[in-house]
Amino acid sequence: MITLKDYLGGIYKEITNAKVQSDLETLVIAQEYLNDPMLKHFSVPNIRMKNIELNIPVAIDTVNFSPYANVTEIKMNEIYEHAFNSSYETFYKKTTPIDVTEKVIPIINEASKKFVFDFQSIDTNSIDIVNNFVTEQTINFAKNTYSYFEGITSYQEYEKNDLLVVKTDFDALRPVMSDIPVIVETQKLKDINASGNLITIKMNVYNDNMEWTTEANEDGSYTDVLTYE
């Protein structure tokens, strides 16, 4: 299994290595020209890479990839606890922390179990369905959590705050694009029938050379610094 960042990083690395090999060969040829009485009057051939545009086909490796693999009871416990603590500190401070802990822990545990269990039955390929599910579960959590707290007559501010925290934390469970496993072998790409799994990545590589320069320090010493030309 290879991730998208590893694959694209490997391409960048090989392009850089190609430039290094080209420069080394240029040095060898330049020395030959210098030592030849006839060739030394000619320009030394050198290849420069300016801008390279690549169209790279890949496919999402659905066998080794699940966008919601991190949705576990432990993670949802942490998310619900974060949401409650945020709302409690912001809106409600009448109950002692010990009382709050005793009341809320069982609710958080039950809400986390329900979330993970029910989540398995929805279409996770639909972002709208997932978002609606998270909203519904969080609103139920808020009602169950704050319904018996003394003096609370409206749950809207609690629900709003819980939704903000839960959605933000839940979105963070999704893997970033660069960590997605991909299929890159030509034959395997030809055999894939689901066009929705195929991606064409347009990558532009620009030549941006660097050089070593020597800078003088205040104490009279010198430092070698790698800078762009």
The single-letter DSSP state of residue 42 is: S
Predicted confidence at residue 94, as pLDDT, reads 55
Predicted confidence at residue 124, as pLDDT, reads 83
**How much is the average pLDDT of 31-38?**
92
**How much is the average pLDDT of 115-125?**
90
Indicate the average pLDDT of the chain.
84
Predicted confidence at residue 101, as pLDDT, reads 63
Residue 194 binned pLDDT confidence (cut-offs 50, 70, 90): low
23 compared with 197, residue with greater pLDDT:
23
Residue 196 binned pLDDT confidence (cut-offs 50, 70, 90): low
Predicted confidence at residue 96, as pLDDT, reads 47
Q: Are 161 and 83 in contact (CB under 8 A)?
A: yes
202 compared with 88, residue with greater pLDDT:
202
**How much is the average pLDDT of 108-119?**
94
**How much is the average pLDDT of 22-47?**
90
Q: Supply 86's token pair.
A: 């945020």
Condensed to tens digits (0 to 9), the pLDDT of residues 128-158 reads 999 999 999 999 998 888 776 666 666 788 8
Indicate the SS3 state at residue 74: helix
Predicted confidence at residue 148, as pLDDT, reads 63
DSSP letter string, 82-141: HHHHHHHHHH--SS-HHHHHHHHHHHHHHHHHHHHHHHTTS-TT-HHHHHHHHHHHHHHH
Condensed to tens digits (0 to 9), the pLDDT of residues 66-112 reads 778 789 999 999 999 999 888 888 776 655 454 666 778 899 999 99
Predicted confidence at residue 46, as pLDDT, reads 83
pLDDT greater than 70 at residue 222: yes
pTM higher than 0.75: no
The single-letter DSSP state of residue 118 is: H
**How much is the average pLDDT of 105-130?**
90
For residue 200, which of 68, 58, 51, 35 has the smallest C-alpha distance?
A: 58
